[in-house]
Amino acid sequence: MTPIQALQKYFGYSEFRHQQAAIIQHVLDNKDVLALMPTGGGKSLCYQLPAVLLDGLTIVISPLIALMKDQVDALNVNGIPAAFLNSAQNPDEQSRLMGRLKNNEIKLLYLAPERLFGSENKLVEFLKSLPVSLIAIDEAHCISHWGHDFRPEYLMLAGLKDYFPNIPVIALTATADKLTQKDILEKLNLKNPAIFISSFNRENITYTVSPKRDSFNQLLDFLEERKDESGIIYCLSRKSTESLAANLKEEGFSAEAYHAGLDNITKARNQEAFLRDDVKIIVATIAFGMGINKSNVRYVVHMDMPKNIEGYYQETGRAGRDGLASDAILFYSPGDAMKLKGFAMVDDNPEQSKIMLKKLDDMVRYCQLQTCRRQFLLKYFDEESPETCGSCDVCLTEFKRFDGTLIAQKALSAVYRLKERFGSTYVIDFLRGSKSEKIREEHKQLKTYGVGADISKPDWQRYLRELTTMGYLQVDGGEYPVLKLTTQSEAVLKGSQTVEFIESEIVEEKHSFAELPFEAELLNELKSVRRDIAINENVPAYVIQSDATLMEIATYLPQSLDELRMISGFGDIKLARYGREFLVPVKSFCERKGLNSKIAQKKQKRERKPRAEKPNETRKETLNLYQSGKSILEIAQLRKLSPMTIEGHLTYFVQTGEIDVSNFVSREKLLVIQDAVEGYGDEKLSPLKEILGDNYSYTEIKATISWMKGQMQSS
Ligand code: ADP
Ligand code: ZN
């Protein structure tokens, strides 16, 4: 059997991803390999497929028991005999397993490094007596002090090559800078290893950074549209994971907390519930996630800024392993950076502290970017990429820019006149000519005092932030950070350098996977078939089939086993075991609705790529329904979206002029709201609502804002 035939037969996929084919070939040729692939890239297949093709046993070293159980379940479901060894198994179970190993009945054996070399190397001696054909080391960066997740027990693996000198070793990891790479090769003693570095780009993840203001409400807005989907929310502290989980529950979401301080039973229960989709949201510290290969995580949220890009990228990488469109959202506040600075210092190690502070600094730069975030991330991992990606918040936002040289000059000369000794709040009050006693008398005599009175506080904050990002100002840390000039400031002050600011932003709506042209009703039925099978087999649902596969079925409506074979994710065993069960709801659905198979439209079995949806189609659909006389609530129900989303769609058309604003708000109210918006800005709705009171609804406010934007554009 060739590798590609085995891929189809055992895994139901028709093509290799990234460098899987080359990696597998090397392994089959008996060569040592180091493979670097992003989280979700498909590392497991690189040793699972050779394991199937090679005679004898493949030993898989992996750090976490949770991961092993899952992988073993998934392999068994695909008809590949696999097992794991852990300390929870009783002597009976263990000796039965040994028997099966001796009889050559197992293709893959998963275990933790400390098991292998524990109790006087008994196990490794036993394994040496078996026909071992391959050793795979997952999460290989754990062996290095330089990695971000060093595990001392991994150091035991240095002895592997002594026991198995002629057996090929494949080491795999999702994060490894040059230093870690070198360390892995050395510590594992790999022989002439081939190193494969795949692209770290995760095309299906949309990256967004949002200012940490009112972040709980922002989060609710975000979750509201994803009620049925799984996600991970990361917090910095244990306490905040618990309080956030509690708050989300209060809002009706299915959420549980996870952190290292919980007792083992609670941890295991919450993790298991999440894996089985019984709980949709896990609110966790970074203690959660390694080894979680749940494929249908649709979003990862960071409530606080992570300490470095490596960690951030690995955490966000847990979204969308199934290849479907997924989101990574981070709430950023400059205050977080200050907080983390303390943590970044490593006691008595100025050299390492410096590295950590630099990493933190890179993380801050990422948050403040006004250029493509994906490009920045890939560059961080030494990878070239286009200027824009079209799927990060920066690329999805249209910026209007204007000449802000004069504003910049006012700001910079204020900093200069105040002798670079004050923070942004003081500088802004000074610029705006505040009468407050906090402003020193001598400063009130300066010429620059009050020259920026025409600009609101929030705008000044934004401008100062942008000037800092552009390098014309710098924030000098310490307990009371102050604004200082930079070497570039002079050119602006002299007028030889112009400065542009961003005026307004129109955020295009992101495609959400709820809008793919699949049969939603059928998808639900398929999910319930999957749930039944999963319960029967006692494994998490996604081990049976991924969401991506079910969506393909609900899209192409296969009518026979032969047609089902064309769906990505159905290998021979799964087809034989579960094919019929999945066909039942498809057939009856098609009969009820008078639909036929669309499998012919799926020319070739391909790995499913997230479809790039035109951003406005979903709005148009809402508009059509609205124009046919349906109410917001009715449309929301029909489209399975929240009324808030529908409102968002419709108010967009108020801005374009396709819907008259009078449909949403009366003339009198419009004027009052307009007044409030002009006074307080339109950045946040809730303060406006508070000012206007109960008589004014969010719909009315939103409609007015859209109308005002429309007016501005046409004038
Ligand atoms: P990693 O260990 O690199 O984080 P996994 O090995 O868990 O990633 O793979 C992620 C997902 O991609 C899994 O659901 C896996 O079945 C799927 N996958 C792997 N290789 C392929 C392929 N060639 N075609 C389609 N899906 C694949
Ligand atoms: Zn981008």
Residue 399 main-chain phi, psi, to 5 deg: -100, 135
Q: Which ligand is nearest to the Cα of residue 291, counting in written order?
A: 1
* Residue 413, token pair as written in the block: 């000369």
**Per-residue pLDDT tens digits for 251-267:** 999 999 999 899 989 99
| Position 562, amino acid | D
Q: Is 618 exposed, middle or buried (CB count within 10 Å of its CB: 0-12, 13-18, 19+)?
A: buried
Residue 81 and residue 179 in one domain? yes
**pLDDT class of 680 with cuts at 50, 70, 90:** low
Q: What is the pLDDT of residue 222?
A: 93
Angle at 203 between CA 197 and CA 208, to 5 degrees: 115
Using CA atoms, how far apart are residues 682 and 701, in angstroms rounded to an integer? Answer: 9
Does one domain contain both 174 and 71? yes
Q: pLDDT digits over 433-481, tens only?
A: 988 888 999 999 998 999 998 888 878 988 898 898 788 999 887 667 8
Among 164, 197, 230, the domain-final residue is 197
Average pLDDT, integer, range 356-369: 89
Distance 203 CA to ligand 2 centre (A): 10
Measured in Å, residue 644 CA sits from the centre of ligand 1 at 35
Q: Are residues 230 and 348 in the same domain?
A: yes
Q: How far is the CA of 211 from the centre of ligand 2 (A)?
A: 18
pLDDT at residue 26 is higher than 80? yes
Q: Establish whether residue 43 lines the binding site of ligand 1, counting it when its CB lies within 6 angstroms of any ligand atom.
A: yes
| pLDDT category of residue 279 using cuts at 50, 70 and 90 | very high
Between CA 169 and CA 136 the distance in angstroms is 6
On whether both 64 and 154 belong to a single domain, the answer is yes
Asked if residue 293 has its Cβ within 6 Å of ligand 1, the reply is yes
β-strand pairing of 281-284 with 205-211:
unpaired
Q: 612 pLDDT exceeds 60? A: no
Q: Are residues 44 and 147 in the same domain?
A: yes
Which of ligand 1's atoms lies nearest the C-alpha of 38?
A: 3
116 pLDDT more than 50? yes
How far does residue 17's CA lie from ligand 1's centre (Å)? Answer: 8
Strand partners, 196: 35
**Does a structural domain hold residue 240?**
yes
Instruction: Identify residue 328 by its one-letter amino acid code.
Output: A
295 close to ligand 1 (CB < 6 Angstrom)? yes
> What are the φ and ψ backbone dihedral angles of 397, each rounded to 5 degrees?
-105, 130
Is there a single domain that holds both residue 114 and residue 176? yes
Out of 197, 224, 251, pick the residue that ends a domain.
197
Quote the ligand 2 centre to 352 CA distance (angstroms): 32
Does residue 16's CB lie within 6 angstroms of at least one atom of ligand 1? Answer: yes
- Whether residue 39 lies inside any domain: the answer is yes
The DSSP 8-state label assigned to residue 87 in this structure reads: T
Q: Does ligand 1 have an atom closer than 6 angstroms to the CB of 605?
A: no
119 and 12 part of one domain: yes
CB distance 317 to ligand 1 below 6 Å: no
**Structural domain count, the chain:** 5
387, part of any domain? no
Sign of CA dihedral 127, 133, 139, 142: positive
Q: Which one of 532, 567, 601 terminates a domain?
A: 601
> What secondary structure does DSSP assign to 524-573, as a single string?
HHHHHHHHHHHHHHTS-HHHH--HHHHHHHHHH---SHHHHTTSTT--HH
| pLDDT per position as a tens digit, 497-550 | 999 887 644 443 333 333 347 888 999 999 999 999 998 888 888 889 988 899
- Please give the model's pTM, rounded to 2 decimal places: 0.61
The Å distance, Cα 206 to ligand 2 centre, comes to 8
Res 66: pLDDT:
66
Nearest CA to ligand 1 atom 17: 42
Which ligand approaches the C-alpha of residue 319 most closely?
1
- For residues 606-611, average pLDDT: 36
**Domain containing residue 489:** 401-507
* Per-residue confidence (pLDDT) for residue 109, from 0 to 100: 97
Q: Tell me whether residue 627 is exposed, middle or buried, using C-beta atoms within 10 angstroms of its C-beta: 0 to 12, 13 to 18, 19 or more.
A: exposed
Q: Give the separation between CA 433 and CA 325, rounded to whole angstroms.
A: 49
Strand-pair category, 500-507 with 397-403: antiparallel
Sequence letter at residue 314 = Q
Ligand 1 center from residue 602 Cα (angstroms) = 21
- CA–chain centroid gap for 50, Å, is 30
- Report the separation in Å between the CA atom of 394 and the middle of ligand 2, taken as the mean of its atom positions: 6
Nearest residue (by CA) to ligand 1, atom 1, is 40
Specify the pLDDT at position 478.
Answer: 64
Instruction: Kindly give the distance from the C-alpha atom of residue 390 to the centroid of ligand 2, in angstroms, as a whole number.
Output: 5
Q: How confident is the model at residue 140 (pLDDT cuts 50, 70, 90)?
A: very high
Determine if ligand 1 sits within 6 Å of the CB of residue 38.
no
* Token duo for residue 287: 């203690």
HSE, CB side, 13 Å, CA atoms: give it for residue 479: 0
The predicted pLDDT at position 115 comes to 87
Per-residue pLDDT, 22: 95
Kindly state whether residue 563 falls inside one of the protein's structural domains: yes
- Using CA positions, which residue lies closest to atom 18 of ligand 1? 42
Ligand positioned closest to the Cα atom of 392: 2
pLDDT: which is higher, 613 or 482 = 482
Q: Are 325 and 512 in contact (CB under 8 A)?
A: yes
User: For residue 317, which atom of ligand 1 is closest to its CA?
Assistant: 4
How far apart are alpha carbons 650 and 698 in whole angstroms?
13
Hey, what are 80's tokens? 């590949």
CB of 41 sitting under 6 A from ligand 1: yes
Among 24, 202, 321, 605, which is best to mutate for testing ligand 1, by the most ligand atoms less than 8 A from CB? 321
Residue 29 DSSP code: T
Above pLDDT 70, what percent of the chain? 93
Question: Which tokens go with 277?
Answer: 């989709």
Q: In this structure, which residue's CA is closest to atom 15 in ligand 1?
A: 42
Q: Domain holding 270: CATH number?
A: 3.40.50.300
| Degrees, nearest 5: CA angle 618-624-625 | 95
pLDDT at residue 489, rounded to an integer: 94
**524 CA to middle of ligand 1, Å?**
24
Q: What is the pLDDT of residue 676?
A: 76
Same domain, 232 and 282: yes
Residue 395 inside a domain? The answer is no
Q: Whose CA is nearest to atom 20 of ligand 1?
A: 42
Q: How far apart are CA 225 and CA 229, in angstroms?
A: 9
Is the CB of 321 inside a 6 Å radius of any atom of ligand 1? Answer: yes
d(C-alpha 344, C-alpha 367), whole Å: 18
Q: Where are the alpha helices (DSSP H) in 385-494?
A: 393-396, 405-417, 424-431, 441-444, 457-470, 489-494
CA of 599 to the centre of ligand 1 (A): 24
**Could you give the CA distance from residue 687 to residue 92 in angstroms, rounded to a whole number?**
65
Residues in a beta bridge with 60: 110, 136
Ligand nearest to the CA of 370: 2
Give the confidence band of 291 by pLDDT, cuts at 50, 70, 90. low
Q: How far is the CA of 127 from the centre of ligand 1 (A)?
A: 28
Task: Say if residue 106 is in the same domain as residue 7.
Answer: yes
In the chain, % of residues over pLDDT 90: 46
Q: pLDDT value at position 479?
A: 67
Residue nearest to atom 26 of ligand 1 (CA): 13
Closest CA to 14 of 567, 705, 587: 567
Q: Choose the weakest-confidence range: 248-257, 316-325, 331-340, 612-621.
A: 612-621
Q: Which residue would you say has higher pLDDT here, 665 or 714?
A: 665
How far, in Å, from the CA of 369 to the mean position of ligand 2?
10
Residue listed under structure tokens 């050793």: 135
The reply to whether ligand 1 has any atom less than 6 angstroms from the CB of 37 is yes
**Which residue is closest in CA terms to ligand 1's atom 23?**
16
**Would residue 552 count as lying in a domain?**
yes
Q: What is the C-alpha to C-alpha distance for residues 25 and 644, in angstroms, rounded to an integer?
A: 52
| Residue 389, domain member (yes or no) | no
Same-domain check for residues 50 and 156: yes
- The DSSP 8-state label assigned to residue 8 in this structure reads I
Mean pLDDT of 191-212: 91
In this structure, the residue with its CA closest to atom 27 of ligand 1 is 42
pLDDT digits (tens, 9 = 90+) for 578-605: 999 999 999 999 999 898 888 887 754 3
Same domain, 547 and 576: yes
Structure-model confidence comparison of residues 129 and 382, the more confident one: 129
Rounded to an integer, the average pLDDT of 245-250 is 94
Relative to the CA of 15, which ligand 1 atom is closest?
Answer: 23
Whether 306 lines ligand 1, by a CB cut-off of 6 Å, is: no
Alpha-carbon distance 86 to 64, whole Å? 10
Between CA 685 and CA 680 the distance in angstroms is 10
| CATH number, residue 587 | 1.10.150.80
CB distance 239 to 526 below 8 Å: no
| pLDDT tops 70 at residue 189 | yes
Indicate which residue's Cα is closest to atom 4 of ligand 1. Answer: 40
- In sequence order, what are the residues at sequence separation of 6 or more whose Cβ sits closer than 8 angstroms to the Cβ of residue 356? 307, 308, 344, 345, 346
Q: Are residues 137 and 188 in the same domain?
A: yes
Compute the mean pLDDT over every residue in the chain, rounded to the nearest whole number: 86
Q: Is the pLDDT of residue 224 over 60?
A: yes
Residue 387 CA to ligand 2 center (angstroms) comes to 8
Is 606 inside any structural domain? no
- Tell me the residue ranges of DSSP E strands in 309-352: 326-332
